[in-house]
Structure 1
Amino acid sequence: MSESSSEVLVRFRNVQKSYDGENLIVKDLNLDIRKGEFLTLLGPSGSGKTTSLMMLAGFETPTSGVIELAGRSINNVPPHKRNIGMVFQNYALFPHMTVAENLAFPLTVRGMTKTDIQDRVKRALAMVQLDKLAGRYPGQMSGGQQQRVALARALVFEPQLVLMDEPLGALDKQLREHMQMEIKHLHQRLGVTVVYVTHDQGEALTMSNRVAVFHQGEIQQIDAPATLYEHPRNTFVANFIGENNRLAGRLVSRDGERCVVQLERGEQVRALAVNVGEPGSPVSLSVRPERISLNGYSEHCDNRFSGRVQEFIYLGDHVRVRLEVCGKSDFYVKQPIAELDHKLSVGDVVPLGWQVEHVRALDPIEQAA
């Protein structure tokens, strides 16, 4: 990132939120959001991601702590004075106004001249490729078109920050994936700062510069998508982002960044020591299904075992093979179609393995539940 793009636009400092004075929905949130970045707040329901977004928008007030925008506290600034664009899942368009009138509304409220309003509305419609639908009413449009209008309305007054709360949740899979790329490319073109909330990990990985993973009111890890996926710091992140095989065991020994873990049935695994305690303490091993080699491909692996094939799940470009490995019956291997041995069948016992750099020793499973 260049020097200018790494400037901080939003700061959360020791922000907490409680609705009943006892239970914290957001616990001691410290977060810097950089100017021009696309940051996604990702997590399951009730993890605090939407509450954090709503405090930034001004629809919720922090119980304690400070939120700064462009260096100034906005704790007591009402939502309409924050210069923030918002896009919601339900579009929130005015049904009695045409598309052009919907887009003109935030500009009229800001007291802009008629000529300026016309120019900006025209530009915003072109931006989301809806120039020809300016005279239509929301009820005459598809869900995808309405979401485009909502997006254009959030951008039309050129805010420094755009907040999006599950904006694609109501769309079908194909349209959702199309809109993900539209929003991503729009962000790249405009350079506006986007904070996006979703519980969909695929969406977060596809669109963001960085992703903050929330769980029980706290950020568990904040990183670039590839770092989150390949280098999760704890069991919650490993399980929440992408598919993951977990094996429970105990730490036998540790040597710097590497360690040896003994599984429940006695097998030993050499792994990366990422988040472990003292020898003898419980750990959870995490290994991605696509990092496991079957048959001859496993010959040079650091960790080798055998597995009994239980099921094949065909997914077009790849097959998920469910095996029983080390006493665990839901151990998955992802095989590209080109690499799959078509003679393989249910009940076969096959060698399999993975390299030490692809298995991470993390905090035990019970603590991550």
Structure 2
Amino acid sequence: MSATVTTEAGSGDVLVSFRGVQKSYDGENLIVKDLNLDIRKGEFLTLLGPSGSGKTTSLMMLAGFETPTAGEILLAGRAINNVPPHKRDIGMVFQNYALFPHMTVAENLAFPLSVRGVNKSDAGERVKRALAMVQLEKFRNRYPGQLSGGQQQRVALARALVFEPQLVLMDEPLGALDKQLREHMQMEIKHIHQRLGVTVVYVTHDQGEALTMSDRVAVFHQGEIQQIAAPRELYEAPRNSFVANFIGENNRLTGQLVSHDGERCVVALPRGEKVEALAVNIGQPGEPVTLSIRPERISLNGRSEQCANRFSGRVEEFIYLGDHVRIRLEVCGKPDFFVKQPIAELDPTLTVGDVVPLGWQVEHVRALDPLQAE
């Protein structure tokens, strides 16, 4: 599909516009194919995708560290293709912090202010405010080497915000942190964003991070935006099989389209079973289709009686995850079909080898384009 995906925002709400932006490093292969994207004032937009999908290149073009091969980028209505990075009024946070090791925390924060000619007393006040925002007032005289990874990342965040830019860009800023600290920093960044109302463009390949933090997520693949939407819509209503597969866990069944009637369709699986599904992104009868069903939308045993699509599955494995269990079953000839159940709903008598009825509603199975081999 084309990457001509723009927002519905009125022009007054838009801070950044990518218009027909392309990027090639060798003159032949486009890393970014045809990017049309409006970023709204005050939103937290995440660019999500696998390595090499074009998300970081798009961010670097916005920052001014890369130049578009074609198209233009507008910031607050002004073309910035030829504006150097330090004149763009953009804060940046990188994964490696990029702090000056020979400067104290306070001096690191004062640096972007001195570059912009802010007077000393005003700068001192702003540094104080920024340190308070990330709860590091007591560390103002320490050097980066005397701080933990999480503290260094906080300093980097404060430095990006200290000169009150209209836009902050973050490139995998939490990638080097451990899981617990990472989750804590996700919330911290989200709350700072809510308090300041600054526009944030955030790059990550971590789908959980994107879903947790963002107002909207743009999913990149092979240099194009596949879908841009609020996290819930992206998860519940993926537009194609790449998005369904990349965001969250997903059972995929491949089959052939039998019939199509309005919003619904019937798909035949290889062994002849028929599935009624939502027709989201399909071709003509006889053509291949990928069915997408989330593991938490599947009902087992008695709960499956009301389901339009009903089959049986053989239990192969239990994977215990604390608050829920993932059950691997063989369903319709597929050996790795997963059902996710809260612990409270799990039948304690269920064991490996049991054959159980299971099912899902039509609205929870999406008929999508055949999954491309990577």
Report the TM-score when normalising by structure 1. Answer: 0.98
1:178 aligns with 2:184: yes
What are structure 2's unaligned runs of at least 5 residues? 1-8
The amino acid that maps onto 1:29 is L
Partner of 2:94: 88
Indicate the residue corresponding to 1:217 in structure 2: 223
Against the structure 1 CA distance between its residues 15 and 4, is the aligned structure 2 distance closer, same or farther, given a 3 Å change threshold?
closer
The equivalences for 1:1-369 within 5 A come to: 7-365=13-371, 367=372, 369=374
Q: Quick check: 1:68–1:74 contact (8 Å CA) kept in 2?
A: yes
SS in 1 for 2:306: coil
- Structure 2 counterpart of 1:248, one-letter code: T
Taking structure 1 as reference, are residues 94 and 310 closer, same or farther at Cα in structure 2, changes over 3 Å only? Answer: same
Unpaired stretches in structure 1, ≥5 consecutive residues: none
Measured after TM superposition, the shift of residue 357 of structure 1 is 0.1
**In 2: Cα distance, 1:4 partner to 1:99 partner:** 40
Give how far 1:6 is off. Answer: 6.8
Shift of 1:39: 0.2
**Secondary structure at the residue paired with 2:238?**
coil
Q: d(CA) in 2 for partners of 1:57 and 1:247? A: 41
Q: Quick one: distance in 1 between partners of 2:189 and 2:11?
A: 19
Contact 1:321–1:334 (CA under 8 A) maintained in structure 2: yes
Partner of 1:174, secondary structure, is helix
1:104-134 Cα offsets, whole Å, 9 max, x none, are 0000111111100000000000000001110
Q: What displacement does 1:5 show?
A: 11
Checking the alignment, whether the CA contact within 8 Å between 1:313 and 1:321 is kept in structure 2 is yes
CA distance in structure 1 between the partners assigned to 2:247 and 2:262 by the alignment: 26
Contact 1:323 1:330 in 2 (8 A): yes
Residue 61 of structure 1: CA displacement? 0.2
* Pairwise CA RMSD: 1.0
Shift of 1:50: 0.1
Q: Find the aligned partners of 1:5 and 1:71 in 2 and give their Cα distance.
A: 9
Query: Offset of 1:230 from its aligned partner?
Result: 0.1
SS at match of 1:28: strand
What's the secondary structure of 1:278's corresponding residue?
A: coil
Write the deviation string for residues 159-181 of structure 1: whole angstroms up to 9, x where unpaired: 00000000000000000000000
Q: Distance between the aligned counterparts of 2:255 and 2:176, measured in 1?
A: 41
Could you list the per-position Cα deviations for residues 231-273 of structure 1 after superposition, in whole angstroms to 9, with x for gaps in the alignment?
0000000000000000000000011000000001100000000
Distance 1:368 1:284 in 2: 13
Amino acid at match of 2:333: G
CA contact (8 A) 1:325 1:331 kept: yes
Deviations 1:48-84 (A, max 9, x none): 0000000000000000000000000000000000000
Secondary structure, counterpart of 1:61 in structure 2:
coil
Amino acid corresponding to residue 38 of structure 2 in structure 1: D
Call closer, same or farther: CA 1:310–1:335 in 2, change over 3 Å: same
Question: Is the partner of 2:367 in helix, strand or coil?
Answer: strand
Deviates more, 1:6-15 or 1:208-217: 6-15
Q: Which amino acid aligns with 2:206?
A: D
Please report the TM-score for the alignment, with normalisation by the length of structure 2. Answer: 0.97
Alpha-carbon deviation of 1:191? 0.1
Aligned residue pair count: 366
Amino acid of the structure 2 residue aligned with 1:148:
R
Does the CA contact (< 8 Å) of 1:235 and 1:368 recur in 2? no
1:36 deviates by 0.2
Q: CA deviation at 1:317?
A: 0.2
